[in-house]
Amino acid sequence: MRTKHKKEVKLKRLHSGAGGDPIKSSSSKTTNSQQQRDRSESPGKVRTLKTQEPLISTSGSLKPEPEEDDFTSNSAGVKRKRIKDELLEETPIRKSRSKKHSNDGDSEGSQNKKAKRQTKKAVKKEEGEHPVSKKVKRTKEEIEEARQLKMKKKEEEEQNRWRWWEEKKYEDGVKWMSLEHNGPYFPPEYQPLPDDVSFYYNGKKVKLSLAAEEVALFFAQMLDHEYTTKQVFRENFFKDWRKEMTAEERSLIQHLEKCDFGELHNLHKAKVEARKNMSKEEKQALKEANQKITDEYGYCLLDRHKERIGNFKIEPPGLFRGRGEHPKQGMLKKRVQPEDVIINCSKDSRIPVPPAGHRWKEVRHDNTVTWLASWTENVQGSIKYIMLNANSKLKGEKDWEKYEVARKLKSCVDDIRDQYLRDLKSKEMVTRQRAVALYFIDKLALRAGNEKEEGETADTVGCCSLRVEHITLHDQLDGNECVVEFDFLGKDSIRYYNKVPVIKKVFKSVKLFLENKEHGDDLFDRLNTSLLNKHLSSLMPGLTAKVFRTYNASITLQQQLKALTNQSDNEAEKLLSYNRANRAVAILCNHQRAPPKTFEQSMATLQTKIEARKEQLALAKTELKQAKKEAKAKEVFKCVYLVERKKAAVKRCEEQLLKMEVQATDREENKQIALGTSKLNYLDPRISVAWCKNMGVPIEKIYNKTQREKFAWAIDMTEADFEF
């Protein structure tokens, strides 16, 4: 039986129309944002776990990369390789040298030059017989210098890195023993408009008060954006804007339609343009100023270790941009004052100093939490936190823990699956619904689906909050029996669209759940996330719905990597396989992105390149034939040589063509799929590290610098035989 509250909510939803079919809009015109969000595959295609297996047929025949890369010393890959080699073999020399270097600074002292010459020699030796062209040589010194600097930095970082994973963990909720920082950085004050720029109302020039002017500018800046055409956005903005106005302004400015922000908008555009056209020096100065801010506010001292802060800047004021059909879009996000901010640090530390003339809301010393500062945001009333960077101990330890819980699930997932399959037969409705929900969460990696407050957020759902209108049952579909069609908006209003063949018991159960329900009703009316998680934690300590997502993502990666890569593949093939395994996970987790704006075009240019290469190949082939013919007839040495050359040309052409085709396929497959989210949040990095070790692929090929820092613990501790 539904609770009274829920019933009320449903009714409201039905009447407001917000709960109506969010996909097929009632209006015949499809807006841009709808198109953008509508990223599912063409209807009629059944997306099952099976289709996640990569499909490119050329993968088995990719040839090694052409060697020519090795001769251009500015190729990033080669540079990286060298740095690594040197680091491994020459550490003692480098140490003394880098010290000297740091004394010299950037100047071109003679000592410096001497040191450089030494390295050059060493590099030469390493390169062996690779000839270096003259042109390259000239910039060699610069390259060398840059390399040295990089190396020095890398080394320093390595030495400074806090190997927290080798330390004992704190017990019972204690997050740190000492914490010191400089507080958050506040955005600059509002700069009033110049005199020659005005706002007009009803065609008349109006000088706005400072507060009203600032908010007007927020709107003017967004004028090019589609947001500003949306009714809800405009209404919310106008309402909040009027709150910022003086009484006279409020009585004058009654209609948004009569507002002319043209000059403000142009001013903004000019500013953007000016920023783009800044001189090198100006850009440099700006960069340095930013660096100074980062140096001062970007770090903290946690248990005597310097750690980077993730978001040390207070969010600037502006207009709230929710995702999807957010009822609060356009509302004013107010400027945060120091008086709104709570500081958290250790008692005996240097307490951060508030900006002149201000004080903090509160200074507390709570070492059971990880945040350094917090404030309550005015649009949703939620708390915002200043926290550490992903490469910090606090974040890393938690991440590690997360994957350990997921691995524990691996050891008992069979039992849990047996259990919920048995529960599908339960006479009790709660148990039965719980079983079906778990089945979905496990099989489809759905999110838990907490309830949300109506009217406060966009209408999105997860597993437990699925409603009648989000699923369609098909006894028969495309040759499959018992197909459940899912169509709903999930987190960030990203559409989840999937047709899944399920086992009979699940199908029957869902049919049962739907009986006597109508549009707007919950599919799982007896179930919520809290109930579900309570049950899960009784099956295994620490188990919650989201662990299934982590577990299934990581195990999928491991399986896919095993299935797709061969020891004998070349590096490019191995990386392609890695990407495909990654992609399988991203598809499972429904991680989507808007297709890049230039996608169609860049695809087309690639296609023309492929065509050109094909022609070239055909030409090369005919030339080869010709050469062969001649060689047969004459048997002259020169002709034999020519045949060899033509053969090589054909081969090279084929390789390049193949490479481009693979690239095209890869890009096409990736069009709407975002790999980053799963890589960063769902895939146990130890799987990737072990794979790299087994396959002889350098870790830099799959993780960029940021990612390597975040996963330093995994890179350091993982052996080749790691099993998730």
- Touching DNA, residues 341-380 (CB under 7 A): 366, 368-371, 374, 377, 379-380
Nearest CA to 303 out of 346, 366, 260, 266 is that of: 346
Q: How far apart are CB 329 and DNA at their closest, in Å?
A: 8
Between 547 and 687, name the residue whose CB sits nearer to DNA. Answer: 547
Between 354 and 449, name the residue whose CB sits nearer to DNA. Answer: 449
Angle made by CA atoms 156, 157, 161, in degrees to the nearest 5: 120
Binding to DNA in span 177-206, by CB under 7 A:
none
52-65: string of b/e by CB count within 10 Å (b at 16+)?
bebeeeebeebeee
Binder among 42, 382, 411, 568 for DNA (CB under 7 A)? 382
Between 311 and 480, name the residue whose CB sits nearer to DNA. Answer: 311
Between 97 and 447, name the residue whose CB sits nearer to DNA. Answer: 447
Judged by CB under 7 A, does residue 333 bind DNA? Answer: yes
Q: Tokens in use for 431? A: 């148990």
Between 47 and 647, name the residue whose CB sits nearer to DNA. Answer: 47
x/- mask, DNA, residues 698-717, rule CB under 7 A, reads ------xxx-----------
Q: How far apart are CB 292 and DNA at their closest, in Å?
A: 14
Binder among 550, 552, 556, 656 for DNA (CB under 7 A)? 550
Q: Which stretch binds DNA (CB under 7 A): 176-184, 195-203, 514-522, 547-555?
A: 547-555
Check 227, 297, 496, 682 and give the catalytic one.
682
Judged by CB under 7 A, does residue 322 bind DNA? Answer: yes
What number of H helices and E strands is found in the chain? 24, 15
Count the alpha carbons within 13 Å of 548 in the hemisphere toward its beta carbon.
24
Q: Tokens in use for 405? A: 């819980």
Q: Tokens in use for 384? A: 């915002």
Binder among 183, 184, 490, 520 for DNA (CB under 7 A)? 490
Binding to DNA in span 576-615, by CB under 7 A:
589-594, 596, 598, 601-602, 605
Q: Which amino acid is residue 664, in one-letter code?
A: A
Q: How far apart are CB 506 and DNA at their closest, in Å?
A: 20
Report DSSP letters for 306-361, one per residue.
EEEBS--BPPPPEE---SSS-TTTT-EEPPPPGGGPEEE--TTS-PPPPSTT---S
Q: Which stretch binds DNA (CB under 7 A): 112-120, 162-170, 239-247, 321-329?
A: 321-329
Angle made by CA atoms 463, 468, 473, in degrees to the nearest 5: 90
Q: How far apart are CB 693 and DNA at their closest, in Å?
A: 21
Q: Tokens in use for 670? A: 């990736």
Q: Which amino acid is residue 219, in one-letter code?
A: F
Binding to DNA in span 236-265, by CB under 7 A:
none
Between 81 and 313, name the residue whose CB sits nearer to DNA. Answer: 313
x/- mask, DNA, residues 64-93, rule CB under 7 A, reads ----------xxx-----------------
Q: Which stretch binds DNA (CB under 7 A): 60-68, 230-238, 486-494, 510-518?
A: 486-494
Judged by CB under 7 A, does residue 447 bind DNA? Answer: yes
CA gyration radius, the chain: 31
432-469: string of b/e by CB count within 10 Å (b at 16+)?
bbbbbbbbbbbbbbbbbbebeebeebbbbbbbbbbbbb
Instruction: State the number of binding residues for DNA (CB under 7 A).
Output: 88
The answer to whether 437 and 524 have CB atoms below 8 angstroms apart is yes
Between 282 and 481, name the residue whose CB sits nearer to DNA. Answer: 282
Q: How far apart are CB 197 and DNA at their closest, in Å?
A: 20
Alpha helix stretches (DSSP H) within 382-472: 393-423, 429-444
581-614: string of b/e by CB count within 10 Å (b at 16+)?
bbbbbbbbbbbbbeeeeeeeeeeeebeeebeebe
Between 5 and 125, name the residue whose CB sits nearer to DNA. Answer: 5
Binder among 63, 385, 421, 571 for DNA (CB under 7 A)? 385
Binding to DNA in span 389-418, by CB under 7 A:
395, 398-399, 402
Q: Which stretch binds DNA (CB under 7 A): 96-104, 232-240, 499-507, 677-685?
A: 677-685
Q: Tokens in use for 305? A: 């270790």
Judged by CB under 7 A, does residue 676 bind DNA? Answer: yes
Binder among 498, 554, 558, 677 for DNA (CB under 7 A)? 677
Nearest CA to 440 out of 510, 386, 340, 336 is that of: 510
Q: Which stretch binds DNA (CB under 7 A): 116-124, 424-432, 674-682, 687-695?
A: 674-682
Binder among 393, 546, 580, 583 for DNA (CB under 7 A)? 546
Judged by CB under 7 A, does residue 434 bind DNA? Answer: no
Q: Which stretch binds DNA (CB under 7 A): 193-201, 423-431, 620-628, 676-684?
A: 676-684
Rounded Cα distance, 467 and 461, in Å = 8
Between 58 and 284, name the residue whose CB sits nearer to DNA. Answer: 284
Between 146 and 720, name the residue whose CB sits nearer to DNA. Answer: 146
Angle made by CA atoms 487, 35, 10, in degrees to the nearest 5: 40
Judged by CB under 7 A, does residue 448 bind DNA? Answer: yes
Judged by CB under 7 A, does residue 133 bind DNA? Answer: no
Judged by CB under 7 A, does residue 541 bind DNA? Answer: no
Rounded Cα distance, 623 and 631, in Å = 12
**551 an active-site residue?**
no
Judged by CB under 7 A, does residue 552 bind DNA? Answer: no
The answer to whether 665 and 58 have CB atoms below 8 angstroms apart is yes
Q: How far apart are CB 539 and DNA at their closest, in Å?
A: 12
**Is 553 exposed, middle or buried, given 0-12, 13-18 or 19+ CB atoms closer than 10 A?**
buried
Judged by CB under 7 A, does residue 457 bind DNA? Answer: yes
Nearest CA to 325 out of 17, 7, 673 is that of: 17
Between 97 and 549, name the residue whose CB sits nearer to DNA. Answer: 549
Judged by CB under 7 A, does residue 554 bind DNA? Answer: no
Judged by CB under 7 A, does residue 491 bind DNA? Answer: yes
- Coil, helix or strand at residue 131: coil
Rounded Cα distance, 30 and 226, in Å = 13
Q: Which stretch binds DNA (CB under 7 A): 153-161, 257-265, 423-431, 441-449?
A: 441-449
Q: Tokens in use for 165? A: 């994973």
SS3 sequence, 564-602? HCCCCCCHHHHHHHHHHHHHHHHHHCCCECCCCCCHHHH
Binding to DNA in span 288-317, by CB under 7 A:
310-311, 313, 315-316
Binder among 51, 139, 537, 570 for DNA (CB under 7 A)? 537
- Coil, helix or strand at residue 707: helix
- Coil, helix or strand at residue 459: coil
- Active-site amino acid positions: 682
